[in-house]
Amino acid sequence: MKLGFLVDLNLCMGCKGCEIACKVENEVPLSSWRLRVKYIDIGTFPDTSRSFTPLRCNHCENAPCERICPVSALHYLDNGIVNVDSSRCIGCAGCMMACPYGAIYMDPESNTADKCTYCAHRIESGMMPACVVACPVEANIFGDVEDEKSYISRYITEHQGDVQVRKPEKHTNPKHYYVGGGNQTLNPLAHERIEGYGLFNNITHLDTIGDPHHSILDRFTTPIFGGHNDHLKNESFIDMPNDADESHESHEEGGHH
């Protein structure tokens, strides 16, 4: 058995129901996401289109996060799920460095790495992942990709030629597929994050998330030098004071409309 996910981007309407269901089911803390839906706009008014791309852990067959984890906190289950044992995680963030899909986050409450587990606890009880249940248009399809009679296998067969995975060149062999995706939707370098167009550009992270001063040293230095959240901001292509913001442009075309 190899459990896999397929998202039909032609069906997804960006309601974020899956995102909310995931948050609630897994008690994902503020500022963290196991599953998120990214909005991408293409074109110039009035000829524009908007695509919605749900992004979650790809449960790779050759998972870089599993390989780099020094204590096997990230491990494979027999059904193909890449699971996390947060009680073993040492919080080295190696998995965050290794995951080509940016799917792993450091839980600010437990101080351990966490990510989508395809709701392994629900699967164990014979239930579907929370995001699948919540999707009003059945864009999320989940099942055994090794069973050719399963719905997901039949869906993949029916859409041969239009089934893609993210970053296949990484040889991670993801078990998460997209139908109706294009370069613009699946390649993070093919679209721009322009200041003023996105939400959450300048957020303040909770402790540990993306904070370069996140360690236990702070527990000693904070009383003397003050807290560090005051000056934190998301350092990204958008926020860095860099001339590149204006000159760095992608001219790639494609994607689905």
Partner 1 sequence: MDHGTVIEATKAVVTLDVALPGIIWGWMITLNMWAKSIGTGVILVGAFLLYRHKKEEMPNLRWMMPLISFIALNVFLLFTLVDLHQPLRMVNIFLHPHWTSAITVGAWMASIFTGLVTLMLAIGALDAFPDFGRHIGIVKTLREKSALYEKVFPFVVVLALPVTMYTAIIMAEASARELWAAPAELVQMLFAAFMVGSASLILISEKWSAEARRDLTLILAISVALSFIMYMGEYFFSFKAAEVEATLAYVHSGGEYFTQFWAAMVLGYIIPFFIAMGSLKEENRTMMKFAAVTTFIGLYLAKSTWLEIPQMIPLS
| 129-188 residues near partner 1, rule: CB under 8 A | 166, 170, 172, 184-185, 188
Q: Which stretch binds partner 1 (CB under 8 A): 116-124, 132-140, 223-231, 246-254?
A: 246-254
Contact between 224 and partner 1 per CB under 8 A: no
Tell me which H or E stretch contains 22: helix 17-26
Residues 3-42 that bind partner 1 (CB under 8 A): 33, 36-42
Are 51 and 184 contacting, i.e. CB atoms less than 8 angstroms apart? yes
- 47 Cβ neighbours under 8 A, 6+ residues apart: none
CA-based end-to-end distance of the chain: 35
Contact between 72 and partner 1 per CB under 8 A: yes
- 86 vs 157, beta carbon nearer partner 1: 86
How big is the site for partner 1, counted in residues (CB under 8 A)? 88
Question: Kind of pairing, strands 3-8 and 176-179?
Answer: parallel
- 92 vs 123, beta carbon nearer partner 1: 92
Burial of 230 (0-12, 13-18, 19+ CB in 10 A): exposed
- Residue of the chain from 25, 151, 192, 221 that contacts partner 1 (CB under 8 A): 192
Closest distance to partner 1 from the beta carbon of 43 (Å): 5
Residues 100-119 that bind partner 1 (CB under 8 A): 100-103, 105-106, 111-112
- 33 Cβ neighbours under 8 A, 6+ residues apart: 19, 22, 23, 105
Closest distance to partner 1 from the beta carbon of 139 (Å): 17
- 70 vs 127, beta carbon nearer partner 1: 70
Total count of residues recorded for the chain: 257
Question: Kind of pairing, strands 163-164 and 140-144?
Answer: unpaired
Angle at 141 (CA atoms; ends 135, 147), nearest 5 degrees: 155
Contact between 225 and partner 1 per CB under 8 A: no
Torsion of CA 172, 173, 178, 184, to 10 degrees: 40
Tokens of 202: 């300048």
- Residue of the chain from 160, 212, 223, 230 that contacts partner 1 (CB under 8 A): 212
Contact between 93 and partner 1 per CB under 8 A: yes
- 27 vs 243, beta carbon nearer partner 1: 243
Please give the single-letter amino acid code of residue 14: G
- 23 vs 150, beta carbon nearer partner 1: 23
List residues bridging with 7 in a β-sheet: 140, 178
- 4 vs 255, beta carbon nearer partner 1: 255
Closest distance to partner 1 from the beta carbon of 34 (Å): 11
Q: What is the DSSP letter of 28?
A: P
Closest distance to partner 1 from the beta carbon of 154 (Å): 28
Contact between 214 and partner 1 per CB under 8 A: yes
